[in-house]
Amino acid sequence: MAGKKNQTALVTGGAGFLGSHLCEYFLGRGFRVIGVDNFITGREANVRHLLKQKNFVFLRRDVSAPFGVKERVHYVFHFASPASPPDYLKYPIETMKVGAFGTYQALNLARDKRSVFILASTSEVYGDPEVSPQAEDYRGSVNPVGPRSVYDEAKRFAEALTAAYRREHRLDTKIARIFNTYGERMRPEDGRVIPNFISQALQGRPLTVYGDGSQTRSYCYVGDLIEGIARLAHSSLRGPVNLGNPDEMSVLELAKMVLKITGAKSALVRRPLPEDDPRRRCPDIRLAKKSLRWAPKVALREGLSRTIDYFRSQALGKKI
Biggest alpha carbon–alpha carbon distance for the chain: 57
- Contacted by 18, from ligand NAD, ligand UDP, none: CB < 5 to 8 Å by type: ligand NAD
17 touches ligand NAD (CB under 6 A) = yes
Instruction: State residue 82 phi and psi, 5-degree precision.
Output: -55, 145
Of 178-186, 195-203, 230-238, 290-298, which part binds ligand NAD (CB under 6 A)? 178-186
Among 178, 209, 237, 285, binds ligand NAD (CB under 6 A): 178
Question: Which of 47/125 has CB closer to ligand UDP?
Answer: 125
d(CA 223, CA 33): 18
Q: Which does 223 bind (CB under 5 to 8 A by kind): ligand UDP, ligand NAD, none?
A: none
Chain center to CA of 313: 22
Q: How many CA atoms lie within 13 A of 307 on its CB side?
A: 31
Question: CA geometry: angle at 224 spanning 259 and 304, to 5°?
Answer: 10
- The residues carrying an active-site annotation are 151
Nearest Cα neighbor of 281 from 129, 166, 178 is: 129
Q: Which among 50-58, 62-70, 136-144, 229-237 is the span making contact with ligand NAD, rule CB under 6 A?
A: 62-70
248 near ligand NAD, rule: CB under 6 A: no
Q: How far is the CB of 70 from ligand UDP (least distance, A)?
A: 37
Q: Are 34 and 8 in contact (CB under 8 A)?
A: yes
Examine residue 116 and tell whether it contacts ligand NAD (CB under 6 A).
no
Give the span between the Cα atoms of 304 and 221, in whole angstroms.
8
CA dist 305 and 261 (Å) reads 7
Q: How far apart are CA 122 and CA 163, in angstroms?
A: 15
User: Which C-beta is closer to ligand NAD: that of 16 or that of 239?
Assistant: 16
| Minimum CB–partner distance for residue 5 and ligand UDP (Å) | 37
- Fill in the per-residue mask, 151 to 170: x = in contact with ligand NAD (CB under 6 A), - = not in contact: --------------------
Sites of contact with ligand NAD (CB under 6 A):
12-13, 15-19, 37-42, 62-64, 79-83, 87, 98, 102, 120, 122, 178, 180-181
